Amino acid sequence: MNEQLFEYVRKQFPALKREVNGFPVAYLDGPGGYQVPESVIAAVKHYFVDMNANVGSQFETAQNTSAMIQDARGIFADFFNCCWDEVVFGANMTTLNFALAQALVRQLKPGDSVLITELDHEANRGPWLQLQDRGIEVADVAMDINTCTLDMEDLKVKLLKKPKAVAVNYACNGVGTISDVEKIIQMAHEVDAVTVVDAVHYAAHGPIDVRKLDVDFLLCSAYKFFGPHIGVMYAKKEMLSKLTPLNLRTQYQYPPFMLETGTLNLEGIAGAFAAVEFIADIGLKFGNEFDWQTEELKANRRNQILAGLQIFETYEMALTAYLIEAITTGVSKATLYGPAAGHPRTSTVSLTYGGYTADQVAKYLGDKGLFVWGGHFYAIRLVEKLGLMDRGGLVRIGIAPYNSRTELDRLVEALSDEDALKRFAEAMS
Ligand SMILES: Cc1ncc(COP(=O)(O)O)c(C=O)c1O
């Protein structure tokens, strides 16, 4: 990102003005949730001021709300590359995935199996593991603990059992590994399995094309890419219409409404719309500098979204390489976890530090205004497999488009000061 673009991006985020102990806050906690731009805050406010009515009635504000939701389905259709009636809103990804699993199980019989992976967040494991109560067998695709990647040979073997569903993440929120989901979906479809992709971590970092992937269900959460706390699911129409979800008889029984129980988070949807618009706006304003033609950008909102994501991804990956290099060469006490160089990854970098727990390191950094996460982040199977549970898991650094090289320099400098961390940990104990 050039200087002008970076300044423009940073200016959009009012939260960046925060200070802690005299230090400007560096929000390196993106994988736990992004900061939101002013336009998202304005959209939520606009909803409350100018709409704020439940849908389905004839008066003006109810009609405005209905129109806004329809528009939001439209922008997510561009985000996923699907049709508006394949976009399902929900409380969050976990709740949507539970609803999906509980609907799918109605098509299964005891003895059928589903496949999950060790690299997944519990939100894409728990809903499937719970089906064991209904006599469904659940198998786990192994991860390679040295590279934090999926063991594709193990996947091949486990597919021989012809699972009815395969649930896998696009990218791992613990260490940033991007999996070859297109290949996995193709392999799963060869045995007629339904495919469910958790794109919550990935969605902030790269383009999603559900048509190209040929995925059946794909879930993400707007708060991971500049939006409020709502979940959004792509559901292939022919697959969604076959489901018999738990719902009310007063509800529409056809796509995309059948999985949307109760009143939706309407202000959240308004904000989620603005979050995708923010990405598109960056693409439209600055896509020219990244090989996009003005006509291509003006003609098509999906192109704007793709350009925006490309700009962010390019910026993040440059900073990720910079950070990994700086830690590898300058922080002797750090051990990095994650995919080997060259393997597709996001800008999420995880490590352990000497004999310290992840929480000790996160607290030490937090006091310096460097906000990172410590723990398992619900990617608990991964952390168990890495043998890090008794050390409190990993320290996770997430690089978002509003983070700067200066912030990473501050982080590396703080991590290099082993004595300061030692004094801090002693004072804490
Ligand atoms: C990879 C991944 N999947 C699923 C989830 C759960 O999403 P939600 O909080 O929307 O339920 C998260 C949240 O951290 C995540 O990172």
Q: What is the pLDDT of residues 58-89, one digit of tens each?
A: 999 999 999 999 999 999 999 999 999 999 99
168 band by pLDDT with thresholds 50, 70 and 90: very high
pLDDT in tens, 177-219: 999 999 999 999 999 999 999 999 999 999 999 999 999 999 9
Is 365 near ligand 1, meaning CB less than 6 Å away?
Answer: no
Query: Hey, what long-range contacts does 133-140 have (CB within 8 A, 24 or more apart)?
Result: 134/105, 134/108, 134/110, 135/109, 135/110, 135/111, 136/105, 136/108, 136/110, 136/112, 137/111, 137/112, 137/113, 138/113, 138/114, 139/113, 139/114, 139/115, 139/163, 140/115, 140/116, 140/381
Ligand 1 atom nearest to 231, measured from its CA:
10
Nearest CA to ligand 1 atom 7: 93
Q: What is the pLDDT of residue 3?
A: 82
pLDDT at position 393 over 90: yes
Question: Mean pLDDT, to the nearest integer, of 148-153?
Answer: 98
pLDDT of residue 1: 65
C-alpha span between 421 and 429 (Å, rounded): 12
Q: What is the mean pLDDT of residues 343-370?
A: 97
Please tell me if the CB atom of residue 205 comes closer than 6 angstroms to any atom of ligand 1.
no
Q: Looking at residue 428, what is its pLDDT?
A: 86
Q: What are phi and psi of 162, to 5 degrees?
A: 55, 65
**Over the stretch 34-60, which tens digit does the pLDDT of each residue have?**
999 999 999 999 999 999 999 989 999
CB-ligand 1 contact for 93 (6 Å cutoff): yes
Q: Are 93 and 231 in contact (CB under 8 A)?
A: yes
Q: How many other CB atoms sit within 10 Å of the CB of residue 222?
A: 33
Q: Which atom of ligand 1 is nearest to the CA of 97?
A: 11
- H or E element at residue 297: helix 294-299
> pLDDT at position 429, please?
82
The full DSSP string for 329-371 is: HH-TTEEEESPPTTS-B-SEEEEEETTB-HHHHHHHHHTTTEE
Mean pLDDT, the chain, whole residue set: 97
Tokens of 394: 């990993």
**pLDDT given for residue 291 in this prediction:** 87
Which helix (H) or strand (E) segment holds residue 211: the answer is helix 210-213
Which ligand 1 atom minimizes the distance to the CA of 120? 1
Residues 131-162: b if buried by 16+ CB within 10 A, e if exposed: beeeebebbbbbbbeeebbbbeebbeebbeee
Tokens representing 325 are 């290099």
Q: What is the pLDDT of residue 313?
A: 96
Q: How far is the CA of 382 from the centre of ligand 1 (A)?
A: 15
Stretch 159-171: mean pLDDT: 98
Q: What is the mean pLDDT of residues 115-136?
A: 98
pTM to 2 decimal places:
0.97
